[in-house]
């Protein structure tokens, strides 16, 4: 039987009373699943990860994006995005606005550390974030004669 859509196909398969086998038809994959939900979650791994337009976060799938958006939109009024381009003082109200502004600089974006005496620059936000942690003070334990960093 040829069906018009996937939902109709599932309804038809249930009439046979056989266990379902869900096979991924993506070229080179071929993974098999017993449950439709597992199959659906797997299929999404072949698609680009959805990104929140408000904050730029990448989510695992569309369901996670939908849940994230509800939370993100309620907090978006509390957030601001500061342009880290050297000499720029723009503060955007949303990630989308920030990305649009960033393009006005017309060259690869540079993240600059604003800690006094540092000034290191980074091409990637993740590298910049890791670097910022080096400036955070480490807790000291002074319970022994010699203090040490935890």
Tens-digit pLDDT profile for residues 122-149: 767 777 888 888 877 654 444 444 444 4
Q: Which residues of 22-35 are buried (b: 16+ CB within 10 A; e: fewer)?
A: bebeeeeeeeebee
Confidence of residue 77 (pLDDT cuts 50, 70, 90): low
pTM of the model: 0.32
Residue of 112, 108, 102 lying closest to 132 (CA atoms): 112
- pLDDT category of residue 51 using cuts at 50, 70 and 90: confident
Residues 101, 107, 108, 112: is their CA dihedral positive or negative? negative
For the segment 50-73, the average pLDDT, to the nearest whole number, is 81
Rounded Cα distance, 66 and 50, in Å: 10
pLDDT of amino acid 144? 45
């Amino acid at each position: 039987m040829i069906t018009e859509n996937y939902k109709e196909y599932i309804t038809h398969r249930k009439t046979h009373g056989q266990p379902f086998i869900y096979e991924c038809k993506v070229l080179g994959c071929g993974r098999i699943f017993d449950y439709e939900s597992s199959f659906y979650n797997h299929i999404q791994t072949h698609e680009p990860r959805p990104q929140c337009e408000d904050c730029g976060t990448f989510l695992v799938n569309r369901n996670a994006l939908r849940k994230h958006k509800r939370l993100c939109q309620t907090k978006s009024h509390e957030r601001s995005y500061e342009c880290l381009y050297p000499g720029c003082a723009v503060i955007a109200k949303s990630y989308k606005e920030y990305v649009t502004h960033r393009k006005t600089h017309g060259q690869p974006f540079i993240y600059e550390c604003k800690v006094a005496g540092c000034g290191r620059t980074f091409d990637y936000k993740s590298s910049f974030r890791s670097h910022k942690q080096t400036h955070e003070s480490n807790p000291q334990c002074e319970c022994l004669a010699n203090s040490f960093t935890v």
